[in-house]
């Protein structure tokens, strides 16, 4: 399959938003209930404009269509798009703190073709080149399988209240980059 991985631009945001919704509504189905998925789409899953502005968010594009996205961050926010309130844009110390891996979503028609793995590898290379020694993330249950396959460790479930009394399980994970 022909696709390119490039940096996301601000005017990609509507298409990234549609991609995230299609991805979550299809590929999360075995792991979360419909209620959890809809609550997550309304709150925690979404575009984080800070990453695009920092130049650390990637999209995979095939024939002019966005088919995957994901990024990394030098900032403290561990997860959550623009609509999610718990955010901290303070900068991390690469020597002593892990870079954050953020918001990976692949379109269901393009799943299991190595797109997320390729974007993750680009993120790890960039974070490593900026001096980060390790990376951490908050995995969704579908994301857990990807990140384990890519060398991330962690299996302790945490639960978050994402609004309207809906709770959702995530797994904090970490990897040494060098
Ligand atoms: C998680 C997600 C991003 C993976 O994207 P993807 O492009 O399909 O993943 P890849 O093809 O790069 O997978 C790489 C490896 O991860 C593992 N993996 C990925 N998805 C898997 C699944 N559904 N079941 C089992 N293993 C899986 C496999 O080892 C896979 O290698 P293989 O296909 O050679 O066996 C995608 O399923 C998705 O968008 N899910 C919904 C949104 C979400 O929860 N995102 C994570 C946010 S933290």
Q: Mean pLDDT for the chain? A: 96
Q: Dihedrals φ, ψ of 110, to 5°?
A: -120, 15
Kindly report the CATH number assigned to the domain that includes residue 90. Answer: 3.40.630.30
120 CA from centroid of ligand 1 (Å): 11
149 CA from centroid of ligand 1 (Å): 9
pLDDT for 6 equals 98
29 lines ligand 1 (CB under 6 A): no
Mean pLDDT across 22-49: 96
| HSE-up of residue 3 (Cα within 13 Å, Cβ side) | 22
Please give the residue range of the domain that contains residue 162: 4-176
Q: How confident is the model over 54-84, as pLDDT tens digits?
A: 999 999 999 999 999 999 999 999 999 988 8
Q: How confident is the model at residue 163 (pLDDT cuts 50, 70, 90)?
A: confident
145 CA from centroid of ligand 1 (Å): 6
149 lines ligand 1 (CB under 6 A): yes
pLDDT for 150 equals 98
Mean pLDDT across 141-166: 95
101 lines ligand 1 (CB under 6 A): no
Mean pLDDT across 80-93: 89
Q: How confident is the model at residue 178 (pLDDT cuts 50, 70, 90)?
A: confident
Number of domains in the chain: 1
Distance CA 81, CA 102 (A): 9
């Amino acid at each position: 399959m022909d696709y390119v991985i490039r940096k996301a631009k601000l005017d990609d945001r509507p298409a990234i938003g549609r991609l995230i919704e299609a991805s979550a509504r299809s590929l999360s189905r075995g792991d979360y209930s419909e209620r959890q998925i809809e609550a997550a789409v309304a709150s925690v899953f979404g575009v984080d404009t800070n990453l695009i502005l920092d130049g650390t968010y990637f999209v995979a594009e095939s024939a002019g269509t966005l088919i995957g996205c994901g990024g990394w961050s030098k900032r403290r926010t561990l997860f959550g798009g623009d609509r999610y309130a718990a955010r901290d844009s303070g900068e991390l110390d690469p020597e002593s703190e892990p870079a954050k891996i953020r918001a990976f979503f692949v379109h269901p028609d393009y799943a299991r073709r190595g797109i997320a793995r390729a974007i993750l590898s680009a993120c790890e290379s960039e974070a490593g080149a900026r001096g980060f020694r390790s990376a951490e993330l908050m995995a969704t249950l579908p994301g857990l399988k990807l990140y384990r396959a890519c060398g991330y460790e962690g299996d302790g479930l945490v639960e978050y209240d994402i609004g309207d009394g809906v709770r959702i399980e995530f797994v904090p994970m970490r990897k040494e980059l060098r």
